[in-house]
Amino acid sequence: MVDKKTRSIICTAFANGKTHDFALFKASKIRMNKEIKAKVDTGYIGIEKFHANVDRPIRQSKYHKLTKEEKQYNRLISSQRVANEHAIGFLKRFKILALPYRNRRKRFKLRVNLLSGICNFDLIA
């Protein structure tokens, strides 16, 4: 989770192996204040059951093509979500998330949280 105004990393969640973002969100049991508007991507279908105040892009299927208004809405949400993607990219510069982790899994969460703190400190300085 990333704060939109300060662009700082609020919290992180992890799982062993490849795990979908929404499955990780459900397993982490992270809950947000009801007034907070969550900006998520199209993979979070069903998040409305956990958090009602959500902006999620409209998905296109082969039977339902997107209209111009729906494409504009999706572009608006994507432009607001770019802070999240920048934060993930900033963490991937340290290669701990970009490459396979070869050390003990026991300290992986600690190391990523320390890197998140470094990223947050870099935003302040």
Residue 95: inside a domain, yes or no?
Answer: yes
pLDDT surpassing 70 at residue 125: no
The domain total for the chain is 1
> Which range marks the domain in which residue 113 is found?
21-124
pLDDT surpassing 90 at residue 71: yes
Mean pLDDT of 5-29: 84
Residue 113: inside a domain, yes or no?
Answer: yes
Residue 86: inside a domain, yes or no?
Answer: yes
pLDDT surpassing 90 at residue 95: no
Residue 83: inside a domain, yes or no?
Answer: yes
Residue 112: inside a domain, yes or no?
Answer: yes
Residue 115: inside a domain, yes or no?
Answer: yes
The whole-chain average pLDDT of the chain stands at 86
Which position has the token pair 């990223």?
119
Torsions phi, psi of 55, nearest 5? -110, 115
Residue 65: inside a domain, yes or no?
Answer: yes
Mean pLDDT of 46-54: 87
Share of the chain above pLDDT 90, in %: 11
Which value, to the nearest 10 degrees, does the dihedral of the CA atoms of residues 109, 118, 41, 78 take? -170
pTM over 0.85: no
pLDDT band at 65 (very low <50, low <70, confident <90, very high): very high
